[in-house]
Amino acid sequence: MRTRSLLLLPALVALPVVIAVVAGALSLTGCGYALVGRGNALPPDIHKVYIKPIENRTGHQRVDQAVTLAIGDEMVKRQRFTLTSSREGADAELSGTVVGFGATPVTFDAAGRATAYELSLTASMVFKRISNDKIIWQNASYNFREKFPLTASNAFVDLEYSAIDQAAKAFAQTLVSDLLEGF
């Protein structure tokens, strides 16, 4: 009889843990908790978006083109919007200006050579309804930073274009997430 009660002991101890986990999961569903990138804080009637070519006020060529292309790609991937080639027929317009782009060395090897850079991209972005020019979302100083590692294979190659493309892609991912989530 004692052996049987010892076998039931782990089940009795685990039951409160299971109940607590289930209760916690159920409470999260009612508090507005959602996975990032899955929400939508935009008006439901916004379906077609025109992305105005992003302006470039940095000394780096191609930043504007890379950011415009990356934002368009990310919006299409999210399958929330249809992109238009002009304002006509669009419900909303996303426009902006890249005002800063930089690469700062952040880690070094024993010889003092940079082994990683921090890429920084700053832009002023506006998402507005076309019918009345009402601003839906805006950030005058949207800043994105990302670490860009250097390896032995790419340390002696001019990586500016690669860095711009990588920063633009990551910038677009966070921008579209923030736009959809309403941050």
Q: pLDDT at position 18, please?
A: 44
Average pLDDT over residues 118-124: 92
pLDDT interval class at 136 (50, 70, 90): very high
pLDDT tens profile 29-82? 444 444 444 456 678 889 999 999 999 999 888 899 999 999 999 999 988 889
pTM of the model: 0.71
CA dist 88 and 84 (Å) reads: 8
Q: What is the pLDDT of residue 60?
A: 85
| Between 21 and 66, the higher pLDDT residue | 66
